[in-house]
């Protein structure tokens, strides 16, 4: 996590005021004893290698260099140990791939290593330890104190830094404390043994102890990496199974990005749709929130998505400087790491996934490969959802008017009536509408002209009702509207608006019964019946019957082209 520029400047100042002058003071306080240079170079090389190849256990990175600095302190004292630990920061910086903009992290680690060395070293020297002692009891006692003070000081400084910079700490006695203590248990015997072996057999001790330790580190790293890959693959498999359970197109879109955010360190995620050679932003999430982005195909073509679109190949960038030159109009400026993966179906690119993190080097190559696999699952699931929704739409829609059919109307009305009875709705109204003298239109102009009018009425009602309720074709020339939370008075007003709109709107038809068919305009009228629950009834089908009764008794019998309400 990045910290503020002010905090970064404070770290630079803190380092400049303490470390250079502090090293000079430590030289005066505890000057180095006689040095065996081959042994010292061996210690230095081992410290560098141990820092560059850390342990990784359960997602936690452990730089187990404590056993080396313990052996160096026991042999050469505070100043030499301090210097070698400062040198060990160089491979640490290389390992973390720190750039100049993040160089404050190197300075902070230098300051922390310096304080840890000084506090633990001075404490043990003041306790009475004699540098270079080979008395086993003395070495074990003072070595234990040295390691404990070293570990505690390191943890206190790191916890304080995270607290002041408002980073997640996990508590003072959290997981980091447990792993620090585990590191102490593991490394303390190695440090004591390395020191004693050097005293008795010389440089060969590095071969007998240093190389096996590095080999163990390497094996643990390989195991840890394989475990991480397996974990990611298992998560990918679980996501694939969840895709199979989702039927809705929108649900799959939502699930895909949410699961990716849980699986990887993602701050920004985008799905770019590719259709007929044109790109558009289908869905975007920034900091777990949905956002709306409208970019033209030309704009997207100049971005990272366009770069992948042209190459049809997934890419991974570790930092901003790598991808910025390729252009990106939609990624936020604080984005660093980026993965961009094409989404294929039947070997045709149908989309592009773009994810980004504010951290540098946030992603690894195996994660890019897993994302490619997930994108294949995703594309297949979307295609399945499309087919299912199309099939469902055909079963719920009238083929002529494209409105909901009687089957859907009946199910939705039952659902809304249950909501009313459960107190989720206050009122529920139904409009039953019938085109007046429709048979005469069919007889005069032909059935195809009648179909044209039915289609035109459906479109007009859709436009007028918008999101007021559920509009369906009841059958023949009858239409029904379900109006949740509409009172009878509100329903009467809406019905009158619809009746007037129908009456004043000309409908275009093609007169097929004439020798020379031509376009004509006809005017029609509509009768409407209304029923409202709970005052009229408390059953779904009773509500339909009451509206139908109002339609035929109150409107049709009274001359048509009118609105009537149900009266008990």
Average pLDDT over residues 177-195: 80
Alpha-carbon torsion, ordered 187, 189, 191, 197, to 10 deg: -150
Output the pLDDT for position 128.
92
User: 174-178, 181-185, 334-338, 368-372: lowest mean pLDDT where?
Assistant: 174-178
Instruction: Confirm if 463 and 398 have CB atoms less than 8 A apart.
Output: no
CA distance linking residue 236 with residue 341, whole number of Å: 15
DSSP class of 167: -
Question: What is the pLDDT confidence band of residue 65, given thresholds at 50, 70 and 90?
Answer: confident
Is residue 233 pLDDT above 60, yes or no?
yes
522, two tokens: 């006809």
Per-residue pLDDT, averaged over 295-323, amounts to 87
Q: What is the pLDDT of residue 47?
A: 87
Q: Looking at per-residue confidence, does 481 or 183 come out higher?
A: 481
pLDDT for the residue numbered 30 = 86
Rounded to 5, what percent of the chain is helix, strand, coil? 60, 15, 25
pLDDT, position 38: 85
Please state, rounded to an integer, the average pLDDT across all residues of the chain.
84
* Residue owning tokens 């007003």: 493
Q: Which structural domains are found in the chain, ordered by start?
A: 5-227 (1.10.1760), 246-392 (3.30.450.40), 406-565 (3.30.70.270)
Please report the beta strands in 371-467, taking only residues with DSSP state E, as ranges in sequence order: 428-435
Peptide bond before 157: cis, by omega within 30 degrees of 0? no
Where is mean pLDDT largest: 103-107, 247-251, 342-346, 563-567? Answer: 563-567
| pLDDT beyond 80 at 395 | no
Instruction: State the residue for tokens 């029923």.
Output: 531
Give buried/exposed letters for 473-504 (b at 16+ CB in 10 A, else e). Answer: bbeebbbbbbbbebebeebbebbeebbeebee
**Is residue 514 predicted with pLDDT exceeding 70?**
no
Sheet strands (E) in 485-562: 507-510, 519-522, 526-533
Residue 246 predicted with pLDDT over 90: no
Residue 1 has pLDDT above 60, yes or no: no
Q: Which two tokens stand for residue 352?
A: 């592009």
pLDDT in the model for residue 228: 67
Question: Is pLDDT of 372 > 90?
Answer: no
Picking from 348, 228, 328, 332, the residue whose alpha carbon sits closest to that of residue 340 is 328
In DSSP terms, 279 is beta-bridged to 274
Is the pLDDT confidence value at 388 over 60?
no
- Is residue 169's pLDDT more than 60? no
Mean pLDDT of 295-299: 87
Is the CB of residue 382 less than 8 Å from the CB of residue 252?
Answer: yes
CB of 333 within 8 A of CB of 367?
no
* Amino acid 187: pLDDT: 82
User: Residue 331: its pLDDT value, please?
Assistant: 84
Query: Residue 82 pLDDT more than 90?
Result: yes
User: How far lies 158's CA from each of 50, 105, 165, 171, 376, in Å?
Assistant: 20, 12, 11, 12, 42
For residues 111 and 154, the answer to whether their CB atoms sit within 8 Å is no
Question: pTM of this prediction?
Answer: 0.52
Helix (H, G, I), strand (E, B) or coil at 361: coil
**Confidence band for 239, pLDDT divided at 50, 70 and 90:** low
Q: Which two tokens stand for residue 96?
A: 């973390």
**Is the pLDDT assigned to residue 524 strictly greater than 60?**
yes
The pLDDT, as a whole number, for residue 393 is 52
pLDDT digits over 337-355, tens only?
899 998 887 788 888 889 8
At residue 139, the pLDDT reads 93
Q: How many alpha carbons fall within 13 Å on the CB side of residue 159?
A: 15
Q: What is the mean pLDDT of residues 248-277?
A: 82
Check whether 565 has a pLDDT greater than 70.
yes
């Amino acid at each position: 996590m990045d910290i503020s520029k002010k905090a970064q400047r404070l770290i630079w100042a803190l380092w400049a005021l303490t470390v250079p002058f502090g090293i000079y003071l430590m030289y005066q306080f505890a000057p180095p004893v006689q040095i065996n240079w081959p042994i010292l170079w061996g210690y230095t090389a081992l410290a560098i290698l141990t820092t560059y190849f850390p342990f990784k256990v359960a997602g936690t990175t452990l730089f187990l260099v404590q056993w080396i600095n313990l052996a160096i302190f026991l042999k050469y004292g505070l100043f030499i140990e301090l210097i070698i630990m400062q040198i060990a920061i160089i491979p640490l910086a290389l390992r973390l791939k720190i750039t100049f903009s993040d160089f404050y992290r190197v300075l902070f680690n230098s300051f922390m290593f310096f304080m840890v060395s000084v506090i633990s070293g001075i404490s043990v020297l003041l306790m009475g330890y004699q540098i270079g002692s080979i008395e086993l009891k003395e070495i074990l006692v003072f070595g234990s104190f040295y390691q404990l003070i070293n570990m505690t000081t390191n943890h206190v400084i790191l916890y304080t830094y995270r607290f002041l910079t408002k980073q997640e700490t996990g508590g003072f006695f959290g997981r980091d404390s447990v792993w620090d203590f585990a590191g102490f248990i593991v490394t303390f015997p190695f440090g004591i043994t390395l020191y004693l072996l050097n005293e008795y057999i010389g440089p060969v001790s590095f071969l007998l102890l240093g190389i096996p330790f590095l080999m163990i580190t390497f094996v643990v790293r390989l195991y840890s990496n394989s475990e991480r890959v397996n974990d990611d693959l298992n998560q990918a498999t679980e996501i694939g199974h969840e895709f199979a359970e989702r039927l809705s197109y929108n649900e799959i879109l939502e699930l895909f990005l949410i699961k990716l955010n849980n699986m990887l360190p993602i701050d920004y995620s985008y799905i770019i749709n590719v259709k007929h050679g044109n790109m558009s932003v289908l869905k975007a999430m920034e900091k777990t929130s949905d956002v709306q982005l409208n970019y033209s195909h030309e704009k997207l073509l100049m971005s990272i998505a366009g770069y992948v679109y042209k190459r049809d190949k997934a890419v991974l960038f570790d930092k901003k400087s790598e991808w910025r030159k390729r252009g990106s109009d939609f990624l936020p400026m604080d984005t660093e790491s980026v993965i961009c993966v094409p989404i294929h179906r039947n070997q045709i690119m149908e989309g592009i996934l773009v994810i980004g993190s504010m951290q540098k080097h946030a992603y690894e190559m195996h994660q890019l490969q897993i994302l490619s696999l997930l994108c294949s699952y995703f594309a297949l699931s979307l295609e399945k959802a499309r087919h299912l929704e199309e099939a469902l739409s055909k079963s719920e829609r009238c083929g002529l008017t494209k409105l909901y059919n009687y089957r859907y109307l009946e199910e939705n009305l039952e659902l809304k009536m249950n909501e009313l009875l459960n107190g989720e709705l206050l009122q529920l109204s139904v409009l039953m509408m019938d085109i007046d003298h429709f048979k005469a239109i069919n007889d005069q102009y032909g059935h195809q002209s009648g179909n044209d009018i039915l289609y035109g009425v459906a479109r007009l009602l859709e436009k007028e009702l918008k999101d007021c309720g559920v509009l369906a074709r009841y059958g023949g020339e009858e239409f029904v509207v379900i109006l949740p939370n509409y009172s009878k008075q509100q329903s009467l007003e809406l019905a009158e608006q619809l009746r007037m709109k129908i009456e004043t709107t000309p409908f275009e038809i093609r007169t097929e019964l004439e020798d020379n068919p031509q376009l004509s305009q006809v005017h029609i009228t509509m009768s409407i019946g209304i029923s409202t629950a709970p005052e009229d009834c408390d059953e779904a089908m009773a509500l339909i019957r009451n509206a139908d009764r109002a339609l035929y008794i109150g409107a049709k019998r009274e001359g048509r082209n009118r609105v009537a309400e149900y009266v008990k």
